[in-house]
Every structure is written in C-alpha cells, then in structure tokens.
Structure 1
Amino acid sequence: MSVTFCGYHTHNQNQDVIYRPNGLEEYLFLLVLAPMEFTFANGEQVRAQRGACMLYLPGTFQHYQAEEEFFNSFVEFTGLPQIDFPMSLPTNRLFYPSNLDQLNRLLQKIHQEFLLQQPESGQLMALYVQELLLLAARGVAHHQRLQNDTSLYQEMHSLRLSMLADCQTEWTAEKLSDLLQISQSKFYRLYREYFHTTPNEELICARLQLALYHITNQSMTIQEAAYQSGFANINHFHRLFKKRYGCTPSQYRNRS
C-alpha cells in the first residue's frame, strides 16, 4: 500500500467544487468537516453533514461541493485489494461513523508522515491507513446500532409514561421488554441510557408518591393505602417509606 496524497484540515475556497467524472486511479477516503453536497453518477444528490465519510474506489465518479466552507481531511492511496477491506465498510456512498475524532487523528498522523518522508514513513502510513479503515468500519457499525437503539426511544418513552401513570399495576422487566419486543438486558441498558435511572427505581418513587396521597385519606388503612399504590408486601412498603421520608406511614399520617 502506498499513500499518494493526503490532507489534514484542508481548506479550499468557499463553495469549491470537486468534479472527477472518471474518478481517480487511487482510493480516496474523505472525512467531511463542513457540510457538502455529493452528486452521484445516477444524478442523486445527498447532503453530507460534518462527520460524514466517503470511501471512493478507483475509477468511481466523484462530484462534491461545499455548501459554504470547504473543510475536510482525506487520504489517497493505492495497492490495497478490495478483498482486504473490512466487510462492513461502505464504499462509494456516504456513511457516518461514531468515532469522528479518532479517525481525524489518524488522518493527521498520515499527513505528518507524508510531510516528513522519513525512512519508516511509508510503512507507518500503510499501517495508519489499515487502522483508519478498520476503525471506520467499527465506527459505522456502532453508529448503526445507536440509530437502531434510538428508534426505540419514542416507544420506550411512551411505555415509561404508561408505567408511571399506572404505577399501582404490576410491572415486571419481562412484561416491559416483551411489550417492546427486545431482551430484558437490552431493555435495562437502554432505559438507563435514556433516562439515567432504572424502571424499578422510578416505579418505587411513583408508588410512594401515590401512597402519600392515599395515606392522607383517613378512611383508608395504611395497608390499604400500600396495596392501592402497588405494594404487595406491607413490610417492604414500610421499609421503603421510612428510608425515603424518614418516618413511618403512620407518623406521616399523624403529621398531616
């Protein structure tokens, strides 16, 4: 593998256009650092945000233009059979890896070695390019997983509201995860990631809040208030209540 040209934090004139109908003889890995519009051979136009990447294969139509600022990092290289590419790495289309800064640092290292041209520079650049492609493949796979997880956010948020509004009902991890058709482990992971707590902690808090309301009703016993709030075990309810409010349910009622 040989790096033929590269750039780090490259600036051309604003709204500059790159148009290569026959592409390059080399591979081109491009990291977009300011919005650009890419046009493909079939006429399709796609807006690229900061953080987008493109890996053009040799001989591929290239046409892209900066919306305003022309700002990117890139490397052109030869000598790498396509069979050596990571299987999950997209080619000739835009993709969004999750590790933008990591990839940009590698492009900086490649650029430094390209300028230095020391005896080991060629080998180092080849290693950096291999690492760049592998990490880009890992980054795009991670980004896709995040997108898939994010698509569950609205469903999980809606389910969370239903759970808290109906907290006296029995809610189990199995029931909640089944409603979303995901595993229990994934449900717990996403719940903490989205809401920075666990469903059990939120359910207990909601039930205790409901119990406070019921306890102020003198016609209802403490035990009835606990059961009406979703607590099946009265002793467990007493422990949680005292831990949260520093007094027993009866003491709270007497103060009210």
Structure 2
Amino acid sequence: MEKIFFADNHAEHNADFVFHQPHGHDCWLLILTKTPAMIQVNGQLKRYNKNHAVLFRPGQPIKYTACAESYINGWIRFNLNPSFFDLCPIEYGMPLHMADYIQCHQLTQLIAHEHAGGNSASSIYLLKALLMILNTNQTHEKRTVEDKLFNLRQEIECNPGFPWTATYMSSLVNLSEGYFHRMYKKMFGSSCIDDVIEMRLALARSLLTTRQMKINEIASQCGYKNGEHFCRQFRSRVGVSPQQYQGL
C-alpha cells in the first residue's frame, strides 16, 4: 500500500543532534538537508554541505548528525509500490546534491502540507515527482563524473610516468577518495592504481623494444623511483625481466 507516514519540510535541531537507527526503519526515509550535516556512508560519517538528499531503503542503517550550531532538514517516511523504483532507481544511502534544491524543498513543503490536510493521493503524487527529480539529478551527476573519469584515464595514458596517487587523482575530479575508487572501478573494471601500473608497463615494453636505453633510464621515464622496484613489478606482471624482454 502506498502511504506517507510522516512529512516535515523544516525540522530544526541543536548542535548536539544525532539521529541513529542501526537497523533502519520498516519503511523508506528521505531526508533533504538545509544545512551541512555528517551522514553515515558505508559505515563512516562524512561531512556534506547543505542541499543534499539521501534515500534510505527499509532496514538500511541510518545515521546523520549536526556539524554546526544547528541542523535543519526536511524528511519524509513512506512506502511506495516497489515497481516505482524499477522505473526511478535512486542509489540508496548515498547523499545526492540537489541541483534543483529550491524546487525540491518547495515540493517537500507541499507534500507536508497535503499530508497534514489528509490529501493522500495528492501527497503521493508530489512525492513521486520529487523522487523523479532526484533521479534526474543523479543521472546528470553520474554522467558528469563519468566524463571526468574518462578524461582522467586519458591523461594517465598520455603521461603514465607522472607520480600519480589515488589522493591526487580523486582531487583532480573533485570526488571523495572512497567514492572515486568505487566509481573508477565500476567504470573501467580495475582500480586506478592498477591502471597506472599497466600503463607504465605498456610504456616500458615500448621503450625496451624501440630504444637503446638503460633499464634505470626506462624505469625513471615510466615513473619508478628506482630500477629495482621497476624490475620486480615488470617480472611480476609481464612474466620475464626487463632485460629478458629487451633481448626477445
């Protein structure tokens, strides 16, 4: 049965506010922040700026807290037909920045008003409209992230000898390091560090067969601080030493 249980557009809390449900609710929960907040993602509390929405599925652990002098959010507890989320999938438990945050907050206010007035059908209709807007925001955000990661991978391929680190790469695309790792592997099927190593070794194989260079010079050009590390990694991944590969 589709139903809204509670809806509030502007719930104000003090600086010591903590909401923690280790086993989640028996229904869906949507929160829309109006101030910065600490939100638990994958078991860790992380700070997010205002105007983020988070959808928690039934039974999903929930924790969010204030991280300033006050915390304000809108929130809705509800049940919808599961088929709705097949048509409008939203990543559960992952804060999503609301590009249309004014419209989202206005819709939440209307939902709360209609729910308080006993207008069930109207409030459900408005809730579905809100969730579809969030789904559109999510799709756009993912497309933007995918473009950034594709461009980053091209940059690594063009310059594998650069001292790439996961921290530096995540900062280039303006993502948290954990989210960067997940999205990179989801998109390319391997970790960012594995890609760096494979691209360095591809350059090394090319240099070993096309130029008369010393092993240490090749190692340095491929981004290795010393030849010994380069030789170990080359043998481990390629199956022969650089010297043997050069002689083939």
| TM bucket, shorter chain | 0.5 to 0.7
Cα 1:87–1:8 shift into 2, 3 Å: closer
Where do residues 11-90 of structure 1 align in structure 2 (5 Å cutoff)?
Answer: 11-40=12-41, 42-68=42-68, 69-81=70-82, 83-85=83-85, 86-90=87-91
**Corresponding letter in the other structure for 1:52:** H
In the other structure, the counterpart of 2:94 is 93
**In 1, Cα distance between the equivalents of 2:145 and 2:101?**
16
Q: How far apart, in 2, do the equivalents of 1:11 and 1:122 lie?
A: 25
CA displacement 1:67-111 (0-9 Å, x = unmatched):
021101111101431x32144421121122311111111100001
Structure 1 window deviating more from structure 2 (60-69 vs 89-98): it is 89-98
Change (3 A) 1:73 1:4: same
1:36–1:66: 8 Å Cα contact kept in structure 2?
A: yes
Q: 1:145, CA displacement in angstroms?
A: 3.9
Residue number in structure 1 paired with 2:117 = 116
On the 8 A contact 1:15/1:70 being kept in 2, the answer is no
Distance 1:3 1:125, change over 3 A: same
Name structure 2 gaps, 5 residues minimum. 153-248
> SS at 1:24's partner residue?
coil
Task: Give the Cα separation in 1 of the matches to 2:150 and 2:23.
Answer: 42
- Name structure 1 gaps, 5 residues minimum: 155-256
Local SS of the residue matching 1:3? strand
Aligned residues: 149
Of 116, 125, 128, 1:127 maps to: 125
Alpha-carbon distance in structure 2 between the residues aligned to 1:122 and 1:94: 27
Quickly say closer, same or farther: Cα 1:76–1:27, change in 2 above 3 A: same
| C-alpha separation in 2, matches of 1:90 and 1:5 | 22
CA distance in 1, matches of 2:140, 2:16: 31
Q: CA deviation at 1:150?
A: 7.4
Deviation sequence 1:210-234 (CA, Å, 0-9, x none)? xxxxxxxxxxxxxxxxxxxxxxxxx
Shift of the 111–135 alpha-carbon distance from structure 1 to 2, 3 Å rule, reads same
- Give how far 1:45 is off: 2.2
8 Å CA contact 2:45, 2:64 repeated in 1? no
Show the counterpart of 1:8. Answer: 9
What CA deviation, in whole Å up to 9, does each residue of 1:153-199 have, x standing for no partner?
Answer: 99xxxxxxxxxxxxxxxxxxxxxxxxxxxxxxxxxxxxxxxxxxxxx
Amino acid at match of 1:122: S
Q: CA deviation at 1:33?
A: 1.0
Q: Give the root-mean-square deviation of aligned CA atoms.
A: 2.3
Change (3 A) 1:100 1:80: same
Percentage identity across paired residues of the two chains: 20
TM-score normalised by length of structure 1: 0.53
SS at match of 1:5: strand
Q: Which has the larger radius of gyration?
A: 1
Taking a change above 3 Å as real, the CA distance of residues 15 and 114 of structure 1, as seen in their structure-2 partners, is same
8 Å contact from structure 2 (residues 14, 66) kept in 1: no
Contact 1:110 1:125 in 2 (8 A): yes
Deviations 1:13-57 (A, max 9, x none): 2230001111111101111111111124x5322212111110000
Contact 1:97 1:137 in 2 (8 A): no
Q: What letter is aligned with 1:139?
A: N
CA–CA distance in 1 between the matches of 2:12 and 2:40? 20
Q: Distance in 1 between matches of 2:10 and 2:100?
A: 17
User: What amino acid maps onto 2:25 in structure 1?
Assistant: L
Candidates 122, 130, 135, aligned match of 1:137? 135
